[in-house]
Amino acid sequence: MDGYLAMPMGTFWLRAKRRKTGQPACCCKTFRPQIEFCRVRLRRQESLITLSYPGLSPLLLSAHHQASLSMKTVVAACTFCFVCCFYLPHSFGQQAAGDTIRVMPLGDSITHASDPGYRGFLFHKLKAAGYAVDFVGTMKDQPANGGDPDHEGHGGFSIGPGPSKADAWSNGRGNLFTLTAGFMQEQPDVILVLLGVNDYFNVGDLQPNYVPDQQGPARLANFVAEIHRHRPETKVLVSTLLPVKFDANFAQKFNDRLPAALADHKNVTVVDLNRAVGFVDGDWQADGLHLSESGNKKLADAWFHALKDVLNDK
């Protein structure tokens, strides 16, 4: 008879398949390590244990002539599996190799920027740290410093729905809400949302009853709900609005109200990049709104620290 070794650890069951592959793997939710082959085959005339982990030589234990597995052998097998599934992945602090995470940088011109923008810096930091990521989106703009060109950044766009000045150069689709069905076809695992600054500059008289400080967080929460309507399992990291050089209190009320607006949403994390970036003179371009190279590096660092916790939990 063929059987599989089950360990008494609740969510641990070795007869599992790694996502998007046909390779046997542990289905431990947190780490999902890449055990290539870990099973106990019990036959009438042979007992065989073959255990292996990438980079390690296979461990083979066998007994013949109708011998049964000893308690010592079973304990050894369980110990090996425990080390592979819990200790090794935790030590390296990253998701299992082969589990490429689809990350979508989403927002306005700060996300769209490729001169160099923050996306290239972020992508290189993730790769250097050993994370298997693929940036996705319907837009393609290669950062000047290299990296993955895919993204969902749209210069001048507001949160939406509703009219904005960006309608003039986008066929009447100048907000991200109207694009949701399209970009969600990219099936992102994680979305980095940095959006809302254009609600202060590009909506105005087009929506006279809309005050971003007051209704902006609710609109952003509604946008996140629309994302999850298409793909509920997507992790969404929503940033507070970044500082600007010309107004120390810019969007302060928006940022203060954002956590409460998203409090009841699942798979959502509010990331306070406004505080995390630590911008100083020289981190903005001449307009005091868009970022210089040093500002983009700081933004990439802040996104990296927020994103790595999500990737480690994938």
Full DSSP string of 45-85: SEEEEEEE-TTSPPEEEEEETTPPPPHHHHHHHHHHHHIII
Quote the pTM value: 0.71
Tens digits of pLDDT across the chain (314 residues): 333 333 333 333 333 333 333 333 333 333 333 333 333 333 333 333 333 333 433 443 333 433 444 555 544 554 554 544 444 444 444 454 458 999 999 999 999 999 999 999 999 999 999 999 999 999 999 999 999 999 999 999 999 999 999 999 999 999 999 999 999 999 999 999 999 999 999 999 999 999 999 999 999 999 999 999 999 999 999 999 999 999 999 999 999 999 999 999 999 999 999 999 999 999 999 999 999 999 999 999 999 999 998 999 87
Q: Which residues of 107-129 are buried (b: 16+ CB within 10 A; e: fewer)?
A: bbbbbbbbebbbbbbbbbbbeee
Q: Which domains does the chain have, with CATH numbers?
A: 16-92 (no CATH), 101-312 (3.40.50.1110)
DSSP state at residue 143: -
Report whether 78 contacts 167 (CB < 8 A).
no
The angle, 0 to 180 degrees and rounded to 10, between the axes of the packed helices 212-230 and 252-261 is: 40
- Quote the pLDDT of residue 76: 54
- Quote the pLDDT of residue 235: 98
- Quote the pLDDT of residue 98: 54
In three-state secondary structure terms, 195 is coil
